Structure 1
Amino acid sequence: MQALSFVSRQLARLCLLVAGLALLGLMGVTIVDVLLRLVFRLSGGALNWSVIGSVELVRYLLMFSLLAAMAASVERSQVVVEAFSHGLSPTLKERLGGLFLLGFVVLGAVMAIGLWQEAGIAAQRGQVTQDLRIPMAPIYQFGAVLCALLALRSLVHAALGTLFATEGGGVHHE
């Protein structure tokens, strides 16, 4: 069980790194694009510089950052509604949280399978992005991997929350 927790923490760190890099890239593209538009406006149209495909870049970087962040913080992302769980024991609350995570397992798995299938179709058809002509298959494949990480981490934490919950309200570490 400690090995599962360790692997899950390492995967979370990897996902946070991906999310952080994607957000930095997204912000960099946005800042450069805004500054170049300002230069265009200030020069009266004489300097027509722009970031080609900025909308495309932002779209896919946002997708990667959101999927990676979801996978990284799955065990901390639940909203507890006190009105429904007020009188429940901490162990029961933790087990219900673990059952709730099974929904994320299904969601992540369905999204991963769907994106992987789209990657295969995109590769067969030679689909590329509209502006930058980047092949779509690797974009879908990377999204599928991030969704699979969401499903995997959700499964690990669902198991830890439902099977290894203790009467003290925490996960029992052997």
Structure 2
Amino acid sequence: MIVATIRRVAHVMERVSLLLGALCLLYMVSVVGLNVLARIVFDATGTALNLMIPGAIEQVSYLLGIVAMAGLTASLSHGMIAVDFLVTRLPRGGQALVARFWFLVLLCLALVLCWLFFHDMQATYARGEESQDLRIPMFLIYGLAMLQSLALAVVALREMLVSQGDHGEIA
């Protein structure tokens, strides 16, 4: 019952992470592409026409962390990629045990990140900190990172409970 619930929640979190990562990546590519074109126009007009997106570097840098966390969360359903001379020679049960151990390590890492991002979110909210160029409240950025860390923890928990030692490069 509990494992089935964790599976359902983890599946939803994987799908949301995949969608979030795809949207953020699409936005990042668009911002960078438009800024490159705007820079060409800027240089061609002798700096008379500036169409560059304000805070583009800031936007892309904050979204990069979210894309990385979302990608990691979404990719775990196919097992971890492992290039290991020893583990592949273990019996199926041994491979599952090793995989579950690494998912436990990943779960602990995700929970530590979640805890740290939560405290950073609280601190930046209390201080009223904003990003440098766009004045985005920093607690929103840390909050999104905390939610992505939580999603990673739930997916790692599911994989720790059900993994049979499958590897992403073999599947």
Alignment of 1:71-86 (within 5 A): 71-76=73-78, 78-86=80-88
Alignment of 1:92-131 (within 5 A): 92-131=94-133
Counterpart amino acid of 1:121? A
Name 1:52's counterpart in structure 2.
54
Name 1:16's counterpart in structure 2.
18
Provide, for residues 13-39 of structure 1, a one-character-per-residue CA deviation record: whole Å limited to 9, x for no partner.
111001001101111111111111011
- The sequence identity of aligned pairs, in percent, is 28
The Cα of 1:92 is off from its aligned counterpart by: 1.6
**Distance in 1, Cα, partners of 2:140 & 2:120:** 10
Does 2:20 align with 1:42? Answer: no
The Cα of 1:137 is off from its aligned counterpart by: 0.4
Paired residue total: 164
Q: Give the aligned CA root-mean-square deviation in angstroms.
A: 1.7
Which one has more relative contact order, counting CA pairs under 8 Å at least 6 apart?
2
The Cα of 1:138 is off from its aligned counterpart by: 0.8
Question: After alignment, is 110-119 or 88-97 more displaced?
Answer: 88-97
Provide, for residues 103-147 of structure 1, a one-character-per-residue CA deviation record: whole Å limited to 9, x for no partner.
110111111110110011101111000011110001101100100
Question: After alignment, is 106-115 or 41-50 more displaced?
Answer: 41-50
Does 2:92 align with 1:90? Answer: yes
Q: Which runs of 5+ in 1 are unaligned?
A: none
The Cα of 1:80 is off from its aligned counterpart by: 2.1
**Distance in 1, Cα, partners of 2:120 & 2:150:** 15
Please identify runs of 4+ aligned residues in structure 1 that moved more than 3 A: 1-4
Q: Which runs of 5+ in 2 are unaligned?
A: 167-171
Does 2:142 align with 1:136? Answer: no
- After TM superposition, the score normalised by the length of structure 1 is 0.87
**Distance in 2, Cα, partners of 1:82 & 1:118:** 37
